[in-house]
Amino acid sequence: MSYELIEILKKRAESFLKNSERLIQEREWDLAAFNLEQYCKLILKYLLLWKKGGYVRTNSLRALIRELGSIKREVLRLVEDEKYLHYIARLEEVHIASRYLPYSYEESEVKSLYRFVLEVFKPAVEGW
């Protein structure tokens, strides 16, 4: 895959993160949570394409993190540290809940997920 096509994933991921911030400001909790999950998934897929040339076809953040952890060991703390795993599991749930379940996210949930993504997830996966 060409560098330009891989960069599209990165740009799209960053757009999801930026959009989640806007949606939080607009108090659209469900969509903000979904955009956070999409950012996480796409940035992992981008990094796997960039570093390994491919990735496992899955919607599981845990599986993608473990795959990236095979080349960047410190990323594995996101699934090995219980407090971080809680956030990763919540983000995985967003994928299903936002599409198929009658569940509404609350402000505190989404803001907590947003802080985790900015302060822990993003630095862990993007810091090469």
Q: What CATH number should be reported for the domain holding residue 7? A: 1.20.120.330
Question: For residue 91, what are its two tokens?
Answer: 């983000």
| Residue 21 tokens, joined | 């911030």
Tell me the HSE value of 56 on the side-chain side, using a 13 A CA sphere: 12
Distance between CA atoms of residues 78 and 71, nearest Å: 14
What domain range is 91 assigned to?
3-126
Among 37, 35, 41, CA closest to 18 = 35
How many structural domains is the chain composed of?
A: 1
Question: pLDDT band at residue 105, thresholds of 50, 70 and 90?
Answer: very high
Position of tokens 């822990």?
120
> What average pLDDT does this structure show over 106-122?
97
> What is the spatial distance between Cα 39 and Cα 32, in angstroms, rounded to a whole number?
11
Task: For the chain, give the mean pLDDT.
Answer: 94
Rounded to two decimals, the pTM is 0.93
Instruction: Please check the confidence at residue 127 and state whether its pLDDT lies above 90.
Output: no
